[in-house]
């Protein structure tokens, strides 16, 4: 995983002063298949067999979740910022490390794995788990590409997010 971690670029003061942004673009450009493979390996074969869909959190989580869904023959469900999905949608407000927002998801059903790019404070992931349940889905696991280590022992309901790259 060190090879993958080495391709994550740190951008200080983006998108706001005091934030250290982790840019995964070089990682995806040079090692996309290995990155998706590492995320896939976070879950055992039996876990993959138990789910029907992979949900991705806007926007970099879309890239990863959609690739995993294609790789595993599963459906893909987007979790988007307010106003980006056609109605009807379910929404949830949340706080993140540099503000707040509203996430939306269309209703559905089935068992899903939730995928995002970065676990920072846990606000987005926590909101996504709550939103998925309210929208009719049962979350069966959470995977992130990067865990910044800002919240040791973080859990979303019954789940501790699994990560490929860890900081902290």
Catalytic residue numbers read: 60, 97
CA distance 128 to 152: 19
For residues 75 and 54, is the Cβ–Cβ distance under 8 A? yes
Cis ω before 145 (30° cut-off from 0) = no
CA distance 165 to 1: 6
> In terms of DSSP bridges, do strands 75-81 and 99-106 run parallel, antiparallel, or are they unpaired?
antiparallel
């Amino acid at each position: 995983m060190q090879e993958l971690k080495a391709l994550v670029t740190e951008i200080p003061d983006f998108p706001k002063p005091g934030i250290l942004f982790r840019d995964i673009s070089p990682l995806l450009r040079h090692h996309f298949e290995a990155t998706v493979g590492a995320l896939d390996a976070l879950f055992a074969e039996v876990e993959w067999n138990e789910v029907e869909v992979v949900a991705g959190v806007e926007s970099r989580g879309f890239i990863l979740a959609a690739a995993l869904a294609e790789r595993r023959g599963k459906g893909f469900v987007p979790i988007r910022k307010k106003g980006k999905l056609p109605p009807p949608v379910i929404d949830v407000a949340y706080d993140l490390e540099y503000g707040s927002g509203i996430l939306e998801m269309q209703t559905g059903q089935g068992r899903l794995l939730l995928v995002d790019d970065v676990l920072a404070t846990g606000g987005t992931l926590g909101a996504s788990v709550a939103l998925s349940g309210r929208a009719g889905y049962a979350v069966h696991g959470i995977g992130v590409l990067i865990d910044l280590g800002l919240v040791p022992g973080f859990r979303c309901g019954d789940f501790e997010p699994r990560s490929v790259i860890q900081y902290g």
